[in-house]
Structure 1
Amino acid sequence: MIIEQFFTGGIAHSSYLLGANRTCAVIDPRRDIDTYIEQAQEMGVKITHILETHLHADFISGHLDLARRTGAQIYAPKAGNCDFEHIPLSEGDSFRLEGIHIDVLETPGHTPEHISYLVTDTSRGDETVTVFCGDTLFVGDVGRPDLFPGMAKELAAQLYESLHEKLLNLPDFCEVYPAHGAGSLCGRAMAAKRTSTIGYEKKYNYALNIKNLEDFTNALTKNMPAAPDHFSRCSVINAKGPAIVEELPELKALNNNDFIGLIEKGDSIVLDVRCFESFGGQHIPNAYSLDLKSNFATFAGWLLPPDKNILLVTDSQGQALDASLWLRRVGLDRITGYLEDGMFGWVTAGLGTDHIAQISIVELHEKLTKGDETLVVDVRAASEYEDFHIQNSINIPVHELRERYVELDPEAEIVLICGSGHRSSMGCSILQQKGFRKLYNAAGGMTGYAAAKYGPECPMCRLPWTASSDG
């Protein structure tokens, strides 16, 4: 038996290949599936099983694409009521992959239909040696039960039972392979380590050491990070069956006239994925700024309207292809094309642009020290703001600017700040669409603010192995 892990940064997703001598299974595959096919070919095994632990909320699964390419059967929770062809699984079901015996355990809590796969390598023993537990148990954390409106307490109780009555009864040496790691919003505080054991988690996982159900429920349902918009959409898409990637329209290179014509139709948005400094210098009016080097997929799924076509502004065709890959991972398939000659071709054609002034941390500090009438809006998450922030700044997380912009004076001079400049650039683009004009983006963000000794060191920044909201 051999296990290969595939970690997808940005969404912090882990998928797996479980291999026997001639055949293998892929667990919780991502949508771009070539990596699994190449790995199986390198190992000399055939992909015969595709195992889903649950209907993933934060990304679109590749189960249909992989089944189409390989002919493998899809196994999924019976309680998921999936519309695609699959083998439905409930507790007590089992199957084999040559000498590998796999038992199914129902472990609801993160989602109602969640299952885990218990693996026994019969060539070496008769005890469960590995569990693929999806989003029920993480390294250092457990799955959040608050993603379904009105069901948080019920799901928290189910999660408590799934953990204490089921998973924690597995042998201490049993290896834990979760579907996410540090940086994912499917939990509160996952560790950076990507695998663990039942025994280690029993001892050091904070959530498993909350023995009282009421305390456990309170800890897992209060003050949780906000859930991005696409979390509710992805679960539905995964149950119905995502569009096959190979059948999606090919990405088009669009000249200026075609690009303008599509904008004027009114059913498209412009998404600029260049670095935020370039966006600040020149961008197409009303474009969204989502730096591809930021936590791109999460904020694309969170901020972009899913009912609009997407027109990309990039530095190159390769960047356009990368952006398309990430957009499709979070269910944004309506990607029409990209501006063929980029912003250089746009401005040399004499077409109009907009700008966002980039202000350095030193300049910002000077403004605040002199007492200039400048409003600082911190667009980080509330928990980040509480850790440390600029005195007299106000906190409006970037996704909330879509509605809460009405709390701000469109005539005021406003500086947006985040951890680095990525989210604040996103926020500037949203406010600009709402008619705000006196905007500054604080390049370097609170990371630069702390580095310049204007405030305490950012708690996230002193941990280089963590994945912050900025990417």
Structure 2
Amino acid sequence: MIDIRTIATSGLGDRSYLATDGEVAVVIDPQRDIDRVLDLAADLGVAVTHVAETHIHNDYVTGGLDLAQRTGAAYLVNAADEVGFDRTPIADGEQVTTGTMGLRAIATPGHTHHHLSYALLDTTADTGGEVLAVFTGGSMLYGTTGRTDLVSPEDTVALTHAQFHSVRRLVAELPAEAAVYPTHGFGSFCASTPASGADGSTVGQEATTNPALTQDEQDYVDTLIAGLGAFPTYYARMSPANTAGPAPVDLSAPEPVDPAELRRRLEAGQWVVDLRERTAFAAGHLPGSLGYELATPFVTYFGWTFEFDAELTLIGDDPQQVADAQRELVRIGIDRFAGAATGPIESLDAGQGLRSYPVSDFTGLAAARAERGQDALFVVDARRDEERAAGGVQGSVHIPLHELPGRRDEVPDGQVWVYCGSGYRASIAASMLDRPGRDLVLINDDWPRAAAAGLPITDQSTTGN
């Protein structure tokens, strides 16, 4: 019996897979921290014989090369991809067999030019190879498809047409009962639209719900392209790293930093990042530090706003929090850590004192406007363009979080309130804006509560922001 295990990376919205017949295993699209895969294989008592990439990834640094080298597995990468390392080239229609499992490559361009999906076969079946599942990478996702604009703007239209035909090919060639296992679509920006939220699907189910299968070609192309929003800037670094061949991951603990050195780094303007919960950061933090709460969105928004050549020091409640953040960051190629400090924040200030700002909600904003007048408050909307287009607080200024590092001068001194969709991005934005002369207020609230609080809501075209 073939067993498929999922290795989820919720921070990036991705999944890797290990399929085994009880003796040997194949691994699909492993993340860089391969100890999770090695531990799973050891727990199951199976040998990894093949590691397969559906495509050269744009949203994370792969662990495939490292895993293959450590286990002696064959590393399956599309023969058409020009890479800087030894691999086992595979092309459309070719099949490899290990134990009682077969893995057949199916060309599914769209997310990238050379994207492959892999049909998983049970070779003990009387038919000579019953298709049990298909690993679809960034092609067919749950209720959507992978985005097609990550290679280059010039290729987007052609790749979107290719994506349409790729998904239809999967449905035409594979049995309806075959399970679908995508790599993206669980919050990843590699999805063209949010996935359905389902935890599983089949080829037959997708045939009735996936836009590539329910719309005609031009409608699908036009709708997908019209819906493409901004994606993290660090994506530009991922494909070159994966094409060259990433170095093995290093998860050794950063060197400890004492309070005096921490203060020196802050005064020098270095990146010192506080991982604590956002309201704890607001209640007291080191001047000049940045608050990136270690929560599900952490790695995406950190990578989107981080200066990759900068020295990076982490502050955490304890060493485990620092280790968890480090694991998230190495997945997108942030390997250089200048050190870390842990413990109560009051013990780390080296006599410089702490800064703080209040936390409120949309009801608090409505009350402050009623008391002081709308013009007395400067309100920043840190959400993305597509969120803003659906409505924003009237009179607020739209500065998406990923644009804020270059637009901080647009925010005046005085009282500044900051909101987003949940409070997470607003908390990062507030830490970026925190300085003497600004009276910051973090709105730690969910966006749908803004209208319920009585705040006037207008769309982006009306506000002009």
> Structure 2 unaligned runs (5+)?
458-465
Query: Aligned in 2, Cα 1:101/1:337: closer, same or farther, shift over 3 Å?
Result: same
Q: Find the residue that maps to 1:112 and give its secondary structure.
A: coil
How far off is 1:10 after superposition?
1.9
How far off is 1:103 after superposition?
1.4
How far off is 1:235 after superposition?
1.6
Contact 1:272/1:314, CA 8 A, preserved across alignment: yes
Residue in 2 aligned with 1:179?
183
Alignment of structure 1 residues 111-150 onto 2, 5 Å: 111-124=112-125, 125=127, 126-149=129-152, 150=154
User: Which of 251, 254, 275 pairs up with 2:254?
Assistant: 251
Contact 1:20/1:97, CA 8 A, preserved across alignment: no
Contact 2:176/2:202, CA 8 A, preserved across alignment: yes
Residue in 1 aligned with 2:71?
70
Deviations 1:228-274 (A, max 9, x none): 0121211221221222124x6641111123334445666x4111111
Deviations 1:61-100 (A, max 9, x none): 2113322432222111222212122112221322101222
2:180 counterpart of 1:163: no
How far off is 1:279 after superposition?
1.7
Cα distance in 1 between the residues matched to 2:41 and 2:99: 16
2:417 counterpart of 1:421: no
Residue in 2 aligned with 1:376?
379
Alignment of structure 1 residues 52-63 onto 2, 5 Å: 52-63=53-64
Partner letter of residue 212 of structure 2?
A
Cα distance in 2 between the residues matched to 1:438 and 1:165: 57
Deviations 1:18-77 (A, max 9, x none): 112421111111122222222222322111111111111112221133224322221112
Cα distance in 2 between the residues matched to 1:409 and 1:297: 26
Residue in 2 aligned with 1:469?
none
Deviations 1:114-171 (A, max 9, x none): 1111122121233433211101110100011011232211211221222224554322
Residue in 1 aligned with 2:289?
287
How far off is 1:431 after superposition?
2.8
2:332 counterpart of 1:327: no
Deviations 1:384-407 (A, max 9, x none): 33444323323222112223334x
Residue in 1 aligned with 2:461?
none
2:199 counterpart of 1:194: yes
Q: Find the residue that maps to 1:180 and give its secondary structure.
A: coil
Q: Find the residue that maps to 1:159 and give its secondary structure.
A: helix
Cα distance in 2 between the residues matched to 1:375 and 1:445: 19
Query: Aligned in 2, Cα 1:431/1:79: closer, same or farther, shift over 3 Å?
Result: farther
Contact 1:23/1:46, CA 8 A, preserved across alignment: yes
Contact 1:301/1:331, CA 8 A, preserved across alignment: no
Query: Aligned in 2, Cα 1:249/1:122: closer, same or farther, shift over 3 Å?
Result: closer
TM-score when normalising by structure 1? 0.89
Q: Find the residue that maps to 2:288 and give its secondary structure.
A: coil
Contact 1:374/1:415, CA 8 A, preserved across alignment: yes
Deviations 1:304-358 (A, max 9, x none): 11111210111111111111111111221112221244522123x3124433332
Residue in 2 aligned with 1:318?
320
Cα distance in 2 between the residues matched to 1:19 and 1:365: 57
Partner letter of residue 297 of structure 1?
V
Contact 2:9/2:15, CA 8 A, preserved across alignment: yes
Query: Aligned in 2, Cα 1:436/1:194: closer, same or farther, shift over 3 Å?
Result: farther
Cα distance in 2 between the residues matched to 1:166 and 1:362: 50
Contact 1:110/1:135, CA 8 A, preserved across alignment: yes
Alignment of structure 1 residues 82-121 onto 2, 5 Å: 82-121=83-122
2:234 counterpart of 1:234: no
Query: Aligned in 2, Cα 1:137/1:456: closer, same or farther, shift over 3 Å?
Result: farther
Partner letter of residue 130 of structure 1?
A
User: Which of 380, 404, 407 pairs up with 1:404?
Assistant: 407
Q: Find the residue that maps to 1:322 and give its secondary structure.
A: helix
How far off is 1:176 after superposition?
1.0
Partner letter of residue 416 of structure 1?
V
Contact 2:359/2:442, CA 8 A, preserved across alignment: yes
Cα distance in 1 between the residues matched to 2:138 and 2:86: 23
Cα distance in 1 between the residues matched to 2:424 and 2:245: 33
Across the aligned residues of Structure 1 and Structure 2, the Cα RMSD in angstroms comes to 2.4
> Structure 1 unaligned runs (5+)?
458-471
Residue in 1 aligned with 2:388?
385
Residue in 1 aligned with 2:20?
19
Q: Find the residue that maps to 1:413 and give its secondary structure.
A: strand
Q: Find the residue that maps to 1:401 and give its secondary structure.
A: helix
Cα distance in 1 between the residues matched to 2:379 and 2:67: 48
TM-score when normalising by structure 2? 0.90
Partner letter of residue 239 of structure 1?
T
Cα distance in 2 between the residues matched to 1:62 and 1:224: 28
Cα distance in 2 between the residues matched to 1:239 and 1:91: 20
Partner letter of residue 321 of structure 1?
A
Q: Find the residue that maps to 1:253 and give its secondary structure.
A: coil
Contact 2:316/2:343, CA 8 A, preserved across alignment: no
Query: Aligned in 2, Cα 1:83/1:8: closer, same or farther, shift over 3 Å?
Result: same
How far off is 1:201 after superposition?
0.5
Residue in 2 aligned with 1:464?
none
Cα distance in 2 between the residues matched to 1:3 and 1:40: 12
Cα distance in 2 between the residues matched to 1:383 and 1:155: 22
Please say which of residues 12-21 and 250-259 is displaced more in the overlay. Answer: 250-259
User: Which of 274, 292, 311 pairs up with 1:309?
Assistant: 311
